[in-house]
Structure 1
Amino acid sequence: MNVLAGIVPILILFIAIPIFAIILIYNFVKRAEKRAEERLQIERENLDLLKNQVSRLEQLQKKIVQIEQMLTNVE
């Protein structure tokens, strides 16, 4: 019985430590995945903003060209 009493806590540690490590790794991966999703969402929003800015700049460029043409026609 003494041998069994000494082995049981060791066996419990050999089972508990890997389970604890797996839980820690799982939580770390889950947090990293959440951060990656948040970064991806921010990048998508930034891309939409940049597309809007590009389209506005193109519209402004067209208006500038029209104004320049009007000014050259007036002269």
Structure 2
Amino acid sequence: MDETTNKLVTVLDTAFIHEIQIAKTLLSKKNIPSYIFNENMSNIIGTAISEGYMLKVNSADEKKARKLLIVLTEDEN
């Protein structure tokens, strides 16, 4: 097995937890496991200085995940 398939890569980085939850649901419907990072940071350090949330997937799923999530990021550009 290629060692890169075990790496987690960030496919979405945002200040809004609802965008992360929507993306996670979308990926889940396509059987792509994803993991939320920094989800509880606002509880620890406060929302005023939280740097945002990250959604990560296995590197083997990165291309497929990014293709699915393009819909969420189109409105930002």
Higher share of residues assigned helix: 1
TM superposition score normalised by structure 2: 0.21
TM superposition score normalised by structure 1: 0.22
The structure, 1 or 2, with the larger RCO (C-alpha pairs under 8 Å, 6+ apart) is: 2
Larger Rg: 1
Higher share of residues assigned strand: 2
